[in-house]
Amino acid sequence: MRLANERILVIALIESEKGIANAESIMAVPEIDVGWLGHYDLTSSLGIPGQFGHSRFFAAIDSLLEACQTHGKAAGIIDGNIDFLKAMVVKGFRAIGYGTDIALLQKAYRDGVEQLWSNL
């Protein structure tokens, strides 16, 4: 059990203004390994839906990054825009996901249908 527990990665999803306000105490929890930013929901919670260049968005992510750094945790994010992800890596995010489950499924389905019809 000890080995199994050591292999578990615990990710705290922070995607609201309240979550950002409590990021310091959330990331202080020893069992949490990653502070994951739900950036779409965060911007909605902040009243600036989808405005990823807004100063309030940057202030919020800076708070999360500072909390992660203070407690030796990685900050994570996922998106389908390479330029956005590069900017987040420059800011300090280290756990990076590319794409979304829906986009990956759509691409796999589209590729399969194209292969089906191209081989007939």
State percent of the chain over pLDDT 90. Answer: 82
Instruction: Let me know: does 37 contact 15? Beta carbons within 8 Å.
Output: yes
89 vs 6: CA distance, rounded Å: 26
Answer whether residue 52 shows pLDDT above 90: yes
The per-residue pLDDT for range 19-50, each reduced to its tens digit, is: 999 999 999 999 999 999 999 999 999 999 99
One-letter identity of residue 73: K
CA atoms of 49 and 56, how far apart (whole Å)? 11
Structural domains present in the chain? 2-118 (3.20.20.60)
pLDDT in tens, 55-74: 999 999 999 999 999 999 99
What's the mean pLDDT in 2-27? 94
State residue 56's pLDDT score: 97
Please state, in angstroms and rounded to a whole number, the distance separating the CA atoms of residues 2 and 8: 10
Looking at the whole model, is its pTM more than 0.75? yes
